[in-house]
Amino acid sequence: MELIKHLYANSRKEHWTDGLQWIGWSFWGFLPVGVTILTMVLYGQTLLLSIFTDNGEFAIYAATYLGSAFYIVMKDNQSFPSRSFVTLVLVALLVGSALLYAQIAMNNFLLEKGDAAMLPKLDKDVVRTLSQYLLPVVLLLTYLIVVAESIRISPDDSKMSQNQFNDLNKQFENLGGNDNE
Residue 172 to residues 1, 5, 9, 65, 163: CA-CA distances in angstroms?
A: 25, 21, 20, 43, 14
**Which one-letter amino acid corresponds to residue 96?**
G
| Tens digits of residue pLDDT in 74-83 | 886 667 888 8
**Which one-letter amino acid corresponds to residue 45?**
Q
pTM for this predicted structure: 0.75
What pLDDT, on a 0 to 100 scale, did the predictor assign at position 178? 54
| 37 CB burial (10 A radius; 0-12, 13-18, 19+) | middle
| Tens digits of residue pLDDT in 123-144 | 777 777 888 899 999 999 999 9
Nearest C-alpha neighbor of 22 from the set 54, 58, 68: 68
